[in-house]
Amino acid sequence: MPTLEELLQGKTPAQQISTLKLRRNCPPAPKVKLLDDQFNPPGHRINDRGYRPDKPIKGTRKVIRDGKEVEEKYIERWEEVNRIAVSLQKKIVNSAVSFVFTTPVVQKADFEKGSKEEKVFEALKGIYFANKINSFNRRVARELFRYGECAEYWYPIEYADKKKHEKYGINTSFKLKVQLFSPGKGDELYPYFDESGDLLAFSRQYYTKDVLGKEQTYFDTYTANNILRYHKDGGGQWVLESDTPNPIGKIPVVYYCQPGPEWADVQPLIDRLEKLLSNFGETNDYHASPKIFVNGKIKGWSKKGEAGAIIEGEKDAEAKYLSWDHAPESVKLELDTLLRLIYSLTQTPDVSFDSVKGIGNVTGIALKLLFMDAHLKVFDKAELFGEGFQRRNSVVGSYVGKMDTTYEGTSEDLYIESVFTPYMIDTKSEWIQTLMQATGGKAILSQEKGTELSGLTQDPAEDYKRIRKETEEEETFNVFGKGE
């Protein structure tokens, strides 16, 4: 197969862009407007008046037609019907993000103490801390789960004074930043894969406005060798604006994709649920208040609010309340079934107060079983994010080698593992009791370590020394001594 450079050679900018858009080799580009409507309750189908129109209230009136007085029906007014939208899509996405990334991802690596690999690893951690990587991971996950794709772009910025610093533990005049590309922000993403699934190029089309408010269209392409920028001129023709060398020799973009949004499989179920709830609301509006059925002629009605009221009727007249003898059990059953399927198919635990209030004090194994489906989902997502984070470490590590040439190439020998831990309510006390039973009731960690893990002091080592000193002072005044 020819290289990407060979495919682009001799073509006009417009032809080059058409070539770069050809080989996504992943799910189709997301329909952003549709996904935004599904995610936000005001855009749900149930609120579409074309799908669920208002109810016409008809009246009758007398008109003269062909010289005769007749009654005709007409629409007296339109009554707004119930439209109940439920934000289950938000619940599904937010729950998935929380279970995957509430507990920060831990980066682990093997290296010799004092080696260059250790320095690069510490620089990576410094760069991630400076870019608030834990919060950034959550934003990546939220955009991916919402639109089915997103990407992160790492790029260096040189300080204005060009003075070197050791902010990351390396000697450099650059800082490294990251930008999130997402369809929800107006970005059109075009990864270009070869037959073996390797990413040969990544492109992004986006729109900005100049100082006069006129919209400008840009198309940026990142390859292992070059970074190209195209833009549309005043006549709407593509022009190659710049072509700069790529300093790290690898595409500085991490691309994430999955087949559709997180709620794709249950969207029809959510539509049906909202329709049932809206119809049930209409039924309640018409039939929840008591109604009186009258048989015969009624002479007089009691006044509103009158105590001991009597309805006076002629002989054989009858009045009785209409009662709802058959509760809509089938509707309730379908609503419950739909909710259960929605939560189950998206592996989203229903941990609302009403759902868990009757199950008592859940701890240990029972708690893990309650969250098991969500944890299995985390491990599924770890396949996707683990691959992405491995590429992220490779890209950032290569930048470290360019920012401080002392460590150039070192990152290629550094193997970093990303460890994902699903969110779980803290059950350490039960685990500690289990360990102490296994050790015959003996302590399982030192007092110094316990002080450190308490999180109640900013200087655990100094506080531990004070505790020791206070203990020794107490023993000095103990006339019985320590004992044997």
Q: Are residues 411 and 458 in the same domain?
A: no
In a domain, 23, yes or no: yes
User: Residues 137, 95: one domain?
Assistant: yes
Query: Do residues 463 and 406 share a domain?
Result: no
The one-digit pLDDT tens for each residue of the chain (484 residues) are 567 777 888 899 999 999 999 887 777 889 999 999 999 999 999 999 999 998 888 888 888 888 888 888 888 888 888 999 999 999 999 999 999 999 999 999 888 888 899 999 999 999 999 999 999 999 999 999 999 999 999 999 998 888 888 888 888 999 999 999 999 999 999 999 888 888 999 999 999 987 777 889 999 999 999 999 999 988 889 999 999 999 999 999 999 999 999 999 999 999 999 999 998 888 777 766 667 767 777 666 666 555 555 666 676 777 776 666 555 788 888 888 999 999 999 988 876 656 655 555 555 566 677 778 888 999 999 999 999 999 999 999 999 999 988 888 888 888 899 999 888 766 555 556 665 666 666 766 677 766 666 556 667 677 777 777 777 776 665 555 555 4
Tokens matching residue 63? 């008109």
Asked if 461 and 414 sit in the same domain, the reply is no
The alpha carbon of residue 383 and the mean position of all alpha carbons in its chain are separated, in whole angstroms, by 17
339 within domain boundaries: no
Same-domain check for residues 149 and 99: yes
**Which string of DSSP letters, residue by residue, matches 216-280?**
EEEEEEEESSEEEEEEE-TTS-EEEEEEEE-TTSS--EEEEE-SS-TTGGGHHHHHHHHHHHHHH
Same domain for 226 and 160: yes
> Does 216 share its domain with 154?
yes
The end-to-end CA distance of the chain, in Å, is 83
> Does 92 share its domain with 22?
yes
**What's the domain range around 457?**
445-476
The last residue of a domain, from among 419, 435, 454: 419
Tell whether 162 is covered by a domain: yes
Evaluate whether residue 435 is within a structural domain: no
Residue 410 tokens read as: 């070192």
Same domain, 395 and 470: no
Q: Are residues 402 and 463 both part of a single domain?
A: no
Dist. CA 278–CA 385, nearest whole Å: 39
If asked whether residues 112 and 174 sit together in one domain, one would say yes
Query: Is residue 109 included in any domain, yes or no?
Result: yes
Is 234 a domain residue? Answer: yes
Is there a single domain that holds both residue 462 and residue 391? no
254 within some domain: yes
The total number of structural domains in the chain stands at 2
* Predicted model pTM: 0.80
Q: Which of 185, 223, 181 is nearest to 6 (CA)?
A: 223
